[in-house]
Amino acid sequence: MNDLIENLEQELRDYQDAVTDPKPRECLCCYVNRMLELGGCDNTLRWAKRYRNLRVPTAVALERRLGDIGGFCDCELFLNGYDLHERLYIVPPEVVVDEYGSIEQEDPHWPEPLPECSGVRAGSARPCDNWVRLRRR
Ligand SMILES: [Zn+2]
Ligand SMILES: [Zn+2]
């Protein structure tokens, strides 16, 4: 009986690992973004660290590097560090809203779900072509 429970627990752990593992060639930003949608931010760099530990264990300065661009937790990576490339934004059409021909347009926004990761070479902790550094505002 105990064996059965242990086996089940192991299976659950394996399953969890499989969902929270980076996909082959998936970059840091696409991975962290995917995990934020799945598990949210816990005010640490847990997903970025998980990516590093599994994919680029030699990138020991990753946290510092992300901190340098304002990413002290996973979600800040996208508030301060990186933005989706312009070409991937959804631009809503202009809509005529009254008889005077006034035009309204919703702000461009990220598509949902995000496009597939463009891929990075093994051992890279850099974002793929889908991402650009946010300019300071
Ligand atoms: Zn956060
Ligand atoms: Zn990517």
Cα 51 to ligand 2 centre (Å): 12
Cα 74 to ligand 1 centre (Å): 5
Tell me which ligand sits closest to the C-alpha of residue 127: 2
pLDDT tens digits, one per residue of 40-60 = 999 999 999 999 999 999 999
pLDDT tens digits, one per residue of 58-68 = 999 999 999 99
Cα 80 to ligand 1 centre (Å): 11
Crossing angle of helices 46-55/28-39, nearest 10°? Answer: 130
pLDDT tens digits, one per residue of 31-42 = 999 999 999 999
Tell me which ligand sits closest to the C-alpha of residue 70: 1
pLDDT band (50, 70, 90) for residue 111: very high
Cα 4 to ligand 2 centre (Å): 39
Tell me which ligand sits closest to the C-alpha of residue 129: 2
Cα 17 to ligand 1 centre (Å): 21
Cα 17 to ligand 2 centre (Å): 20
CA 101 to CA 63: how far, in whole Å? 51
